[in-house]
Amino acid sequence: MNVDEKIRQFFPILSQQVHGKPLIYLDNAATTQKPITVTDAVSDYYETINSNVHRGAHYLSTLATEAYEKARIQVQKFINAKYSHEIIFTRGTTEGINLVAATFAQKMLKADDEVIVSRMEHHSNIVPWQLACEKSGAVLKVVGIDQNGDLLLDDYQQLFTKKTKIVAITHTSNSLGTINPIKQIVDIAHQHQVPVLLDGAQGIKSCGIDVQAVDCDFYCFSGHKIYAPMGIGVLYGKEHWLEQLPPYQGGGEMIKHVSFEKTTFNDLPFKFEAGTPNVAGAIGLQHALQFVEEVGHQQMIDYEKELLRYAVEQMKEIENIRLIGTAKEKSAIISFLLGNHHPADTGTLIDFMGIAVRTGHHCTQPLMDYLNIPGTVRASFAVYNTKKEIDVFVKALCSAQNMLD
């Protein structure tokens, strides 16, 4: 399959009009649209094999269990994990990070220990660690960034002490598009025997990950940001870490035996999958990853980068535009402001022209405070976007600029 206009046929949602104009969907960092292979797989599941997994002795339950476990293996292959039991299905990135932060706080953190995060983190990779620190008495330390949005690696190295217990850093910034040097980040932490959690919410689609090559200890992502349904996500954890951490939630599949005196817990991955899982979501995720593989993930990444290059080139011509985030390595995310106009005004005006972008702080308030701006307008691309759409978008921005001026 080639990355071209044919791709759009897989996404019927894109052929509609909004406000009487053809929809141009540039809010892919918030969530991607779903190909029909994914929506078909989800409805097929409900129409043919819907059943609860693992526990049933009957035919449908066996099929549903097989499908669910097949999805786990697809994820394992996609991120090149060593074992399928290192793949924990979650609701999304946020739940994965909360799982690690809460269980790490319970077992590994004590008063005055230190947790390193960066200034460009999404709230989902700040607040769980703040809660973990509150519970344990540990302290949060923050790696700085420069004005372009690049992480200050020297600053990062300086932050390590004997008390550093974990690093939690984003693979790719959802506000700036910065792609962080994750291999270096992991290597530096490992020199200090400190594990690293990578927030892969954006990185999974825009970069891809080989967890064994990068050697990260945890990697979290959400299905919905890589063409899969909402409500399904993945926490990858190295076996020895997942073995050491206590269960996060109790009930359902996560037990081996329960008595009022003592409960013993199930093996990985089930120890961390309490309650009825999102089987349809896992199957949807499997089909989304298959879609990515069939198109070619590297081709998709290259195509998105070409869209980014083209869009930046066009947008630089717009008078008074301020591009926010010009890191050396960037994913297909452009944050910007039109002069001093409020981002929400720009977003609302171009919405009426059929263009969907995100405005605001993008759940990175500490970053916005550091940049001293209320927020940005953010356009983010996916495989189904086209240069023609970018042309319309740039024209719309010029009109919005005129109206606002």
Nearer to ligand PLP, 237 or 354 (CB): 237
User: Distance between CA 391 and CA 158 in Å, rounded?
Assistant: 45
Q: Of the residues 133, 216, 220, 363, which is catalytic? A: 363
Minimum Å gap between C-beta 102 and ligand PLP is 15
User: What's the angle, vertex CA 161, arms to CA 159 and CA 162, rounded to 5?
Assistant: 160
What is the smallest separation between the CB atom of 198 and ligand PLP, expressed in angstroms? Answer: 10
Q: Does residue 363 have an active-site annotation?
A: yes
Shortest Å distance, C-beta 304 to ligand PLP: 15
Place of tokens 């969530």: 31
Q: Which helix (H) or strand (E) holds 2?
A: none
Give the C-alpha separation, 150 to 233, whole Å.
Answer: 27
Alpha-carbon distance of 195 to 243, in angstroms, equals: 14
Bridge partner residues of 130 (DSSP): none
**Which pair of tokens denotes residue 177?**
């598009």
219 touches 211 (CB < 8 A): yes
Asked if 333 and 325 touch (Cβ cutoff 8 Å), the reply is yes
Q: Residues in the site for ligand PLP, rule: CB under 6 A?
A: 92-94, 122, 124-125, 170, 174, 199, 201-202, 222
CB nearer to ligand PLP: give 136 or 364. 364
Task: Provide the minimum distance between the beta carbon of 220 and ligand PLP in the complex, in angstroms, as a whole number.
Answer: 8
State the nearest-atom distance from the C-beta of 22 to ligand PLP, in Å. 26
Rounded Cα gap, residues 119 and 126, in angstroms = 9
Q: What is the CA radius of gyration of the chain?
A: 22
Which residue carries 């929506």 as its tokens?
A: 39
**Spatial separation of the C-alpha atoms in residues 71 and 88, rounded to whole Å:** 11
CA 109 – CA 319 distance, rounded (Å): 51
Nearer to ligand PLP, 114 or 199 (CB): 199
Angle at 33 (CA atoms; ends 197, 307), nearest 5 degrees: 80
Nearer CB in complex with ligand PLP: 186/201: 201
The C-alpha atoms of residue 341 and residue 363 are separated, in whole angstroms, by: 20
User: Which of 1-20 are b and which e, b meaning 16 or more Cβ less than 10 Å from the residue's Cβ?
Assistant: eebeeebeebbeebeeeeee
Alpha-carbon gap, residue 222 to 31, rounded angstroms: 9
Q: Which residues pair with 167 in a beta bridge?
A: 116, 196
76/364 with CB nearer ligand PLP: 364
Which tokens in the block code for residue 4? 């071209």
Question: Considering beta carbons, is residue 39 or 174 the nearer one to ligand PLP?
Answer: 174
In whole angstroms, the minimum distance from the beta carbon of 139 to ligand PLP comes to: 22
Collapsing DSSP to helix, strand or coil, 89 comes out as: strand
- Nearer to ligand PLP (CB atom), residue 136 or residue 222: 222
Taking the complex as a whole, how short is the minimal distance between the CB of residue 196 and ligand PLP, in angstroms? 15
Question: What are the residue numbers of the active site?
Answer: 363
